[in-house]
Chain A
Amino acid sequence: MRFRLFFTLFIASTLPFAAVFASSEEANATPTESTDSHSETDAVETFNPNELIMHHIGDSHGWHFFDWNNHPVGIPLPVILWTKEGLVVFSSAKFHHDIEGRQVVTAGNQRFVNIHENIHYASDQPNEHGVYAEVNEETHEVQNDKPLDVSITKNVASLLFSALVIVVLFLGAAKHYGKNANVAPRGLAGFIEPIVVFVRDDIAKNNIGPHYQRFVPLLLTIFFFIWVNNLFGLVPFFPGGANVTGNIAVTMVLALVAFVVTNANGNKHYWSHILWMPGLPVFVKPLLALVEIIGIFTKPFSLMIRLFANITAGHIIVLSLVSLVFIFETVWVSPVSVLLTLFISILELLVAALQAYIFTLLTALYLGAAMHEEHH
């Protein structure tokens, strides 16, 4: 997603020179490429949008900013592996930005390769493509074993960064209230207070019921965590660019929190309506219990899928629109591509806030249903 703005600006700015540039590029392309290996020329000649998009919405072991004279520039991140011989830590710079499994990193007695951002144990000898791994010819699956990878990847680094941003924002706002308790908030606090009040009143109070106050901190955390991460995902260059909320593991943990909190706070009324629905014939009760028990799990599952799919879909659309230029191989598509990307990016700003709102709102709804008192 760092691609997004960078590429659109780049394409827009080079538009007048485009025709000259394109023709000279074609003329230059053949001699330089012939020196490369066969497989690399293939990669240069045929642009594969699917591969590009999947690479960009996925996670990576280094934080890549841009290419400078064909050299990638970025921050290397630590690779932390739990291997057969214990914990192994090294810098991802040792892979030299290789994700094809051609660069072997030796750590202790063990050797590792990075194949499409999965760390595998390296084979002793490279195969015919120069890859230090056994790859199934038909399915393209890597046969080598994988160590347990707990690296600080781009997503993890981005998540930690946005958590830091949230802490700084809220401590800054909180400081304001410490100093002037009875004055109308200004500045940072003035920006944050309406949102906090909105989450408290419109989301928590309206949906949870009388005992809403305990859950306001949780809902605020969920709301701001998702929102800030969504917004960072939309920024195409450095502090942003990671696809944190479009990562199924992140949304799964968020949904798991909602699941645990909901069921831990479920009262007698809630559980009786799930396990032994009152006021129904006895033979229907077990059937309904089965459906309701499945319902307990589908609720957080849909929370997980909704956030993941919305954010990932947004990123895929933007990348597809940028890819149009390279698919049609003409610059005359670029105005269309730039305008559509701009439009979708603005829409994504709305979606970023909306998905944070929906996730928080539905969590509050489920909580409210679990804590609902009997009215008879």
Chain B
Amino acid sequence: MTGSIAALGAGLAVIGVGIGIGLIGGRAMEAIARQPEATGKIQTNMIIAAALIEGAGLFGIVVALLGN
């Protein structure tokens, strides 16, 4: 089997991002369940935080892609 070890790096980066976004999503759900009237604000902040985490993961993927 031939190939680049860079794919492993991309996979590892995605693990971290998955955990991070999962935590945010889970906590946002809890928060919405506690305070349904704040849904809009919670969603906005959830998306901002998810985007920031995703950015970190995408750095990893891009580096893996370039290193390929």
A305 contacts B48, CB within 8 Å?
Answer: no
Distance from B9 Cβ to chain A, minimum over Cβ atoms (Å): 14
A302 within 8 A of B: yes
The answer to whether B62 and A305 touch across the interface, beta carbons within 8 angstroms, is yes
Residues on A with C-beta less than 8 A from B54 are 306, 310
A81 at the interface (CB under 8 A from B): no
Decide if B62 touches A365 in the complex (CB within 8 Å). no
Q: Inside 8 A of A309's CB, which chain B residues have their CB?
A: 58, 61-62
Chain B 34-68, CB within 8 Å of chain A: the 1/0 string?
00000000001001100110110011011000000
A269 to chain B, nearest CB (A): 22
Shortest CB–CB separation between residue B21 and chain A, in angstroms?
A: 13
CA distance A365 to B45 in the complex (A): 11
CA–CA, A202 and B59, complex, Å: 28
The residue in chain B whose Cβ has the minimal distance to the Cβ of A203 is B44
**Residues on B with beta carbons closer than 8 Å to the beta carbon of A358:** 47-48, 51
A362 to B54, CA, bound (A): 13
Contacting pair B47 A354 (CB below 8 A): yes
Q: CA A302 – CA B62 in complex, angstroms? A: 12
- Do residues B58 and A362 form an inter-chain contact, with CB atoms below 8 A? no
For residue A355, which residue of chain B has the nearest CB? Answer: B51
Residue on A nearest B56 in the bound complex, by CB: A302
A313 in contact (CB, < 8 A): yes
Instruction: Tell me the smallest distance from the CB of B37 to a CB of chain A, in Å.
Output: 17
Majority secondary structure of chain A interface residues (helix, strand, loop or mixed): helix
**Cα distance, A310 to B52, chains bound together (Å):** 13
Whole-angstrom CA separation of A313 from B58 in the bound complex? 9
Count of interface residues, chain A, beta-carbon cutoff 8 Å:
15
Residues of A within 8 A of B48 (CB): 358, 361-362, 365
Contact A310 B47 (CB under 8 A): no
Contact yes or no, A357 B62, CB < 8 A? no
- Contacting A305 at CB < 8 Å: which of B44, B52, B59? B59
Counting residue pairs across A and B whose Cβ atoms lie within 8 Å, the total is 33
For A362, the chain B residues whose CB sits under 8 A away are 48, 51
In whole Å, how far is A224's beta carbon from the nearest beta carbon of chain B?
A: 19
> Which residue in B44, B58, B59 is a CB contact (below 8 Å) of A310?
B58
Partner of A306, one of B44, B47, B55: B55
State in angstroms the CA–CA spacing of A365 and B44 once bound together: 12
A313 to B13, CA, bound (A): 14
> Which chain B residues border A361 with CB–CB below 8 Å?
44, 47-48, 51
When distances are taken between beta carbons in the complex, the residues of chain B under 8 Å from A305 are 55, 58-59, 62
| B44 cross-chain contacts in A, Cβ below 8 A | 202, 206, 361
- B52 to chain A: which residues have CB within 8 Å? 302
Please measure, in the bound complex, the distance between the C-alpha atom of A214 and the C-alpha atom of B53, giving whole angstroms: 30
Q: How far is the CB of B47 from chain A (nearest CB, A)?
A: 7
Please give the distance in Å from B56's CB to the nearest CB on chain A.
8
The answer, among B47, B55, B61, for a CB contact under 8 Å with A302, is: B55
Least distance between B38 CB and chain A CB atoms (Å): 14
| A206 partner residues in chain B, CB cutoff 8 A | 44
- On chain A, the residues within 8 Å of B51 by CB distance are 306, 358, 361-362
If A302-B55, A305-B55, A306-B54 touch, whether A357 touches B47 (CB-CB below 8 Å) is: yes
Q: Is A313 within 8 A of B61, CB to CB?
A: yes
* Chain A residue contacts of B59, Cβ below 8 A: 302, 305
10 tightest A-B CB contacts, nearest first: A309-B58, A302-B55, A358-B51, A306-B55, A309-B62, A305-B58, A306-B58, A305-B62, A305-B59, A309-B61
- Interfacial residues, chain B to chain A (CB-CB below 8 A): 44, 47-48, 51-52, 54-55, 58-59, 61-62
In the complex, given contacts A302-B59, A361-B51, what are 7 additional A-B residue pairs having Cβ atoms less than 8 angstroms apart? A302-B55, A305-B58, A306-B55, A309-B62, A313-B61, A354-B47, A361-B44
26 A-B residue contacts at CB 8 Å? Answer: A202-B44, A206-B44, A302-B52, A302-B55, A305-B55, A305-B58, A305-B59, A305-B62, A306-B51, A306-B54, A306-B55, A306-B58, A308-B62, A309-B58, A309-B61, A310-B54, A313-B58, A313-B61, A354-B47, A357-B47, A361-B44, A361-B47, A361-B48, A361-B51, A362-B51, A365-B48
